[in-house]
A and B are shown apart, each in its own frame.
Chain A
Amino acid sequence: MIAFATLLERLLFTQGRNDKIRLLRQYFETQPDPDRGLALAAIAGELHFATAKAGLIRDLANSRTDPALFALSYDFVGDLAETVALIWPDSQTNAPPPTLPEVVEALNLTPKPRLPDLVAGWLDATDASTRLALLKLITGGLRVGATGRLARIALAEFSQGRAAPDDIEEVWHSLAPPYLPLFAWLEGRAEKPDPATAPVFRPPMLAHPLEPEDIANLTPTLLRAEWKWDGIRVQLVSTPGGRRLYSRGAEDISAAFPELLEAVDFEAVLDGELLVIRDGTVAPFSDLQQRLNRKTVGPKLMAEHPVAIRLYDILFDGTEDLRPLPFDSRRARLEDWFARTSPARMDLSALIPFATIEDLAEIRAGAREAAIEGLMLKDATSPYLPGRPKGKWWKWKRAPLTLDAVLLYAQRGHGKRSGSYSDYTFGLWKGEELVPVGKAYFGFTDAELTWLDRWIRNHTTARFGPVREVEKSLVLEVAFDGAQRSTRHKSGVALRFPRISRLRTDKPAAEADRLETLEKLIPG
């Protein structure tokens, strides 16, 4: 457990991606099975404990510490596990710290009522750093700036050329912690594990943002255009071994969308956009949001937020791998497959006809529908390549909308921003009054954050727990991708993807935008 805690601490403080990969590789090289496989699972987010949850940790902390002091500490530290690790009383015990396999086994096997004592015993036997590793393991989400993908790149390096990251990616979902066959393969002690018919995730092909200088190099005749929908990119996999719905990041999100998987009566691997669609109209992203990050879903939610997949691409038709084919051929196969299969809860992403790049620019500028983010441009001749190959696919987002709003409240951020006031609520004028229209917590530079943080501390007019109300005098230019009606906000409007694009210290608050200006941007 100490080696794992040290790894996490070093990963957190290491800036460079390559340095992180080196740390992971070194860990895999020096730690035994099954420790290293369990650490790998933890970093990749594949360890789940049915009974040990964040609530358990909160209860434990409350039983050992003053709840009011705990709340104030949590507000400052901004992270539950770290707060508990730091606030936990240093006790005098001679018990040795537990090992990682011991911890994982005990968390899997211990009945829920006995967990608090077990975890408390571990916390008593460890220092703050190991306590934090333990608690992060229980709550999930290590947040050390290392992902499953990064770990698989480190594994590829660890294999000394036996496997590329994408080779590992393709067998990954057929394996389970502690990944003994995987390490055996990577160390040359065994053959590559055969995913056989397991419904594994295939690394998706991703797009680059289209930069102005790219436009001159585009050849319109070799380009295909589609709408870029504002949903989430998904991969639907159906094989004799099972059916899965994966997010772009290889996360298995099947449980949240049972109706999609139940409707599957074919074998294929499909790439598309997950959307809420009502009567043929794509609903705004906020509707889809209601369905995300759920472990289960009720019939009411399914009925009110009906989901569908708008198909972009076909990777496998049955067992036939179509990825080496050029886009046009895959598209023909997709249309043919769609006509043949008529799958429920799916439709095809339309190809947009155009002749010149100027046409496209006009189409992009004219797209006002809330659920359209812009255009996707794809090279007609390119095979389906994993990762983000250069010069094959582009996303050409609609220019963002902007408003000049007034800063109303600020709150300390969480995670790495926990020391600064980095969550900003801003408002627009409605008559003589400023009404809040949204919150933004990114878009600014580090220097701007420092400036804002200081400004807020010096212009606080009231404090409500972690929130500070400030003098209504600072104008922020807020960029956003769209606006829609909302009953959740007092202003009746919700912004999509708001971020701080500029500090308008030159502009007096009285000249900030009015709510009516924003209302005009709402479609329909």
Chain B
Amino acid sequence: MTAPHPDTWLTPMPAGLYCAPGDFFIDPLRPVPRAIITHAHSDHARPGHEAVLASPATLALMRARLGEGAGRTQQPLAWGERLTINDVTIFLQPAGHVLGSAQIAIEYRGSRAVISGDYKRQPDVTCDPFTPIPCDVFVTEATFALPVFRHPPAQGEIAKLLASVKLFPERTHVIGCYSLGKTQRLIALLRQAGWDEPIYMHGALAPMCEIYEAHGIPLGELRPATVAAKKDLVGRIVLAPPSAIADRWARRLAEPVVCMASGWMRVRQRAKQGGVELPLVISDHADWHELNRTIDEVGAPEVWVTHGSEEALIHEIAKRGIKGRPLRLIGYGEEDGS
């Protein structure tokens, strides 16, 4: 008996990707009875599901963000631990995107699909690294799936930032970054680069940092920017959500140099659009080369693409004999700022 093709038991539905024999959804977009969540960004981890299964860190982050909405019952699954639901076996492996971010491997009657969620391959001390899992169908994101996207080493971007801090000691550098993942990675990168000063933060970023620290990721001295006097912020680095950097909130800062940390910053006009003066190309997603390399490493003959520039990626892998399929799932890629 040949193994059933994953497209017979894994189906894109309006609510998200659905596994019929296991009767669960992956990262569903609306409340469902049973959900498996790849990571805690709000476009993937939505509130109101009955039963939620995810990595322990993802569940902790979801509880902090969603409270009661994090799921009526919550079941943690450690890396590599196997769990069988009906005829379906699942296990999780790290995706390297943010703390707790997981790939979900699903096995059914001899075939295996892996849903990668969002992922990256660049080193990041704030989360476990992506582990390739061989599979028959690999479900990938495609946020930066155009050959113009090549994320440079993050250390170089941090060096650019620190050079600017040195050049403009009378100003405050305010970096727009998302509260979960980007913030903590930036802090860790700054610490690695030797920046031992206190780092100031918008109030919205603090809760996620506490959870990272509780998971054993030291972030050094963090102070609230909201209570600091303007003159105390001169020469400092301040982190804030992207929505705050061009807003009234930033007026408390001394002549702010507006920086933004995102993979989109590679495209100048994009950076320009947001009123950014110092773009930092630092991303939590795989760039063009990383996407292609990952697809080759997992060796799947068929790749499904959830969201992003699926056309380009499908075109590129077709040249290597890999079949691509766009899932056209609407609703991802909204929160994390990439």
Interface residues of A (CB under 8 A from B): 9, 12-15, 65-66, 68-69, 72-73, 76-79, 82-83, 86-87, 90, 132, 415-420, 458
> Please, could you name 30 A-B residue pairs with CB atoms under 8 Å apart, sorted by A?
A12-B268, A12-B272, A13-B268, A13-B271, A13-B278, A65-B147, A66-B147, A66-B315, A66-B316, A69-B146, A69-B312, A69-B315, A72-B315, A73-B146, A76-B309, A77-B267, A82-B268, A86-B266, A86-B267, A87-B147, A416-B272, A418-B267, A418-B269, A418-B270, A418-B273, A419-B264, A419-B267, A419-B273, A420-B273, A458-B330
Report whether B273 and A76 are in contact in the complex, using a CB–CB cutoff of 8 Å. no
A78 touches B148 (CB 8 A): no
Which of A15, A68, A82 has a CB less than 8 Å from the CB of B269? A82
State which of A12, A69, A76, A79 has its C-beta within 8 Å of the C-beta of B316. A69
In the assembly, what is the distance between CA of A86 and CA of B281, in Å?
13
Interface centre among B150, B269, B273, B276 (most CB of A within 10 A): B269
Chain A residues, CB < 8 A from B311: 72
* B279 interface residue (CB < 8 Å to A): yes
Q: Which 10 residue pairs of A and B lie closest in terms of their CB atoms, listed nearest first? A: A86-B148, A72-B312, A73-B148, A419-B270, A73-B146, A418-B269, A416-B269, A416-B272, A87-B148, A87-B147
Give the residue name and chain of the B residue nearest to A84 (CB). Answer: B148
Looking at the assembled complex, report how far the CB atom of B4 sits from the nearest CB atom of chain A, in whole angstroms: 32
Nearest CB of chain B from residue A331's CB, rounded to whole Å: 45
Bound-state Cα–Cα, A83 to B146, Å: 10
User: CB within 8 Å of A: which of B135-174?
Assistant: 146-150
Q: Hey, which chain A residues are within 8 Å of B268, CB to CB?
A: 9, 12-13, 82, 132
Instruction: Choose one: B148, B273, B312, B315; the contact of A77 (CB below 8 Å).
Output: B148
The answer for the CA separation of A83 and B316 in the assembled complex, in Å, is 18
CB-contact partner of B315 in A65, A68, A76, A82, under 8 A: A68
* A83 lies within 8 A of B148 (CB): yes
Contacts of A68 in B (CB 8 A): 312, 315
Query: Across the interface, which residues of A come within 8 angstroms of B309, CB to CB?
Result: 72, 76
Asked if A72 and B277 make an inter-chain contact with CB atoms under 8 angstroms apart, the answer reads: no
Please tell me if the beta carbons of A14 and B277 are within 8 angstroms of each other in the complex.
yes
B264→A76 contact, CB < 8 A: no
CB distance from A118 to the nearest CB of B (A): 24
> Which A residues lie within 8 Å of B146 (CB)?
69, 72-73, 76
Q: Specify the chain A residue showing the minimal Cβ separation from B271.
A: A13
* Chain B, residue nearest A90 (CB): B150
Q: Is the CB of A415 within 8 A of B269?
A: yes
Sample of 18 further A-B pairs with CB below 8 A, known A9-B268, A72-B312, A87-B148? A13-B271, A13-B272, A66-B316, A69-B146, A77-B267, A77-B269, A82-B269, A83-B148, A86-B149, A86-B267, A87-B147, A132-B268, A416-B269, A416-B272, A416-B273, A418-B273, A419-B269, A420-B273
CA distance A82 to B148 in the complex (A): 9
Asked if B275 lies at the interface with its beta carbon under 8 angstroms from chain A, I say: yes
Residues of A within 8 A of B275 (CB): 15
Q: Are B269 and A79 touching (Cβ within 8 A)?
A: yes
- The reply to whether A73 and B272 form a contact with Cβ atoms under 8 Å apart is no
Which residues on B sit within 8 Å (CB–CB) of A83?
Answer: 148
Complex Cα gap A505–B330 (Å): 23
Question: Contacts A65-B147, A69-B147, A73-B312 hold; do A417 and B271 have CB atoms under 8 A apart?
Answer: no
Q: Chain B 247-275, CB within 8 Å of chain A: the 1/0 string?
A: 00000000000000000101111111101
Question: B319 to chain A: which residues have CB within 8 Å?
Answer: 66
Residue among A72, A87, A90 with max Cβ neighbours from chain B (10 Å): A72
Minimum CB–CB distance from A440 to chain B (whole Å) comes to: 19
Beyond A13-B278, A69-B315, A69-B316, whether A76 also contacts B148 by CB under 8 A is yes
Q: How far is the CB of B326 from chain A (nearest CB, A)?
A: 11
Q: Are A13's CB and B269's CB within 8 A?
A: no
Contacts of B315 in A (CB 8 A): 66, 68-69, 72
| A-chain residues with CB within 8 Å of residue B279 when the two chains form the complex | 13
Cα of A73 to Cα of B272 in the assembled complex, Å: 18
Q: Which of A14, A132, A416, A417 counts the most B-chain CB atoms under 10 A from its CB?
A: A416
Question: Which residue in chain B gives the minimum CB-CB distance to A454?
Answer: B334
Min CB distance A441 to B, Å, is 14
Given known pairs A72-B311, A83-B148, the reply for A78 and B277 (CB within 8 Å) is: no
Contacts of B264 in A (CB 8 A): 419
Q: Which residues 304-338 of B sit at the A interface, judged by CB distance below 8 A?
A: 309, 311-312, 315-316, 319, 330
Neighbouring B residues of A132 by C-beta, 8 Å: 268
Q: For chain B residues 272-309, which have a beta carbon within 8 Å of chain A?
A: 272-273, 275-279, 309
Question: Chain B residues with Cβ under 8 A from A76's Cβ?
Answer: 146, 148, 267, 309
Per the bound structure, the CA–CA distance linking A9 and B278 in Å amounts to 10
Q: List, in ascending order, chain A residues with CB within 8 A of B271's CB.
A: 13
Report chain B residues within 8 Å CB of A79.
269
Which residues of B have CB within 8 Å of A419?
264, 267, 269-270, 273
A167 vs B265: C-alpha distance when bound (angstroms)? 40
B105 to chain A, nearest CB (A): 30
Chain B residue numbers with a CB within 8 Å of A12 are 268, 272
Q: Which of B270, B271, B309 has the most CB of A within 10 A?
A: B270
Report chain A residues within 8 Å CB of B272: 12-13, 416
